[in-house]
Amino acid sequence: MSRAVWLTWKMHRFEVIAGVLLIGLLAISAWIVTGHITSLGLSDACWPRDADGNYATNACDSLMNDFYSITSSEGGFVRIGLALVAPIVGLILGVPIVARELELRTTSFAWSLQASRSHWLASRALPMLLVAMVAFVVLGIMGSMFFDTLAVGRQGAALTEVASGGAALVARGFMAVGVALLVGALTGRTMPAFIIAAIVVVAWSVMGVTMIQAQLSHGWAVWTPSNDDSWQAGQLGYIAYVDHGNFDTTKPGEDGQPGARFDFDTLDREAIATCGNAPDDDSGESAEFRAWADCADPIYQRGNDAGWNLTVPASRYGDYVAVDTLASLLVGGSAILLTFPVVARRRPS
């Protein structure tokens, strides 16, 4: 096994060094930015905000300005890196494992020295996978620490960032390694394999994950009044938006809705019956129009005040992370397992 590790290192040392350096630089950057946010000394004492958006004290206003400055500049670059680097490193490490030897036409000799092609593939893939997983775990820990620090300022990861820290980041990187390994074995060419694998990984991350999240969101969403003032306490009211509407809660609704949907045509008719037709005044400044508006506004306000949003509570964020982690592990694991029969059936180069 030590000889297999040495051969793997000798053949792929450039990719290993590049991947580890990329992960290391991002992990250090996340650690530094986390330290900058922590050094601000924000605390729960700065909340809640008043109706005008001011924090508890003037000092808190200043601290939050600094917080937003950090998170929108250096913190923004870290967030981008956490979302992209693990899959990129997975592609860098995974593609050449099989594709390079097929491309260099060394597989005939290499396979003749092994008891089986499966043994050969395992001896090549396992060391690279081990390096990748250790690097992903380090980055996942730093990503989790970074987002935990953002929570002090009542910020956190968005739904598009479920794989930007912790186990989900590790799983997304593992998925990229698996896809890259399989595509490399199928194509037998390094650069085409990298391009195709990158397309597959991006398609899965952008479309596949989004479709899963959309299905989850429709199942987990609940109706809540749209005049929610949780922003004053800095609480994230929801993590995903599904629908909205205006409902009269005094009347029964359908399909789990909080009430009967307001019919604004009915309000129009009520306003006309009570206040007459609106005066023909494009500017809306005449005394006649203002008098009509004073009469009609309370009627329309009943519908406007009855706004509701169908959203997924922020408490469900961990469920999205769990599903993303399991799905990525399934895709990556399946790709790795499929690589064994592909290698077993390939003609040696």
With a cut of 60, say whether residue 1 has pLDDT above it. no
Q: What are phi and psi of 103, to 5 degrees?
A: -70, -35
More confident site: 196 or 265: 196
- Residue 2 pLDDT: 64
Mean pLDDT of the chain: 87
Which conformational region is residue 88 in: left (phi greater than 0), alpha (psi within -120 to 50 degrees), or beta?
alpha
More confident site: 178 or 245: 178
Give me the count of residues in the chain.
349
Q: What are phi and psi of 337, to 5 degrees?
A: -65, -40
- Residue 328 pLDDT: 96
Q: How far is CA 165 from CA 185, 285, 315, in A?
A: 29, 55, 17
More confident site: 236 or 212: 212
With a cut of 90, say whether residue 34 has pLDDT above it. yes
pTM comes to 0.85
The model's confidence at residue 48, banded by pLDDT at 50, 70 and 90, is: confident
With a cut of 80, say whether residue 303 has pLDDT above it. no
- As a whole number of angstroms, the distance between CA 35 and CA 152 comes to 13
Mean pLDDT to the nearest integer, 193-209: 94
Mean pLDDT to the nearest integer, 281-287: 72
Mean pLDDT to the nearest integer, 264-284: 79
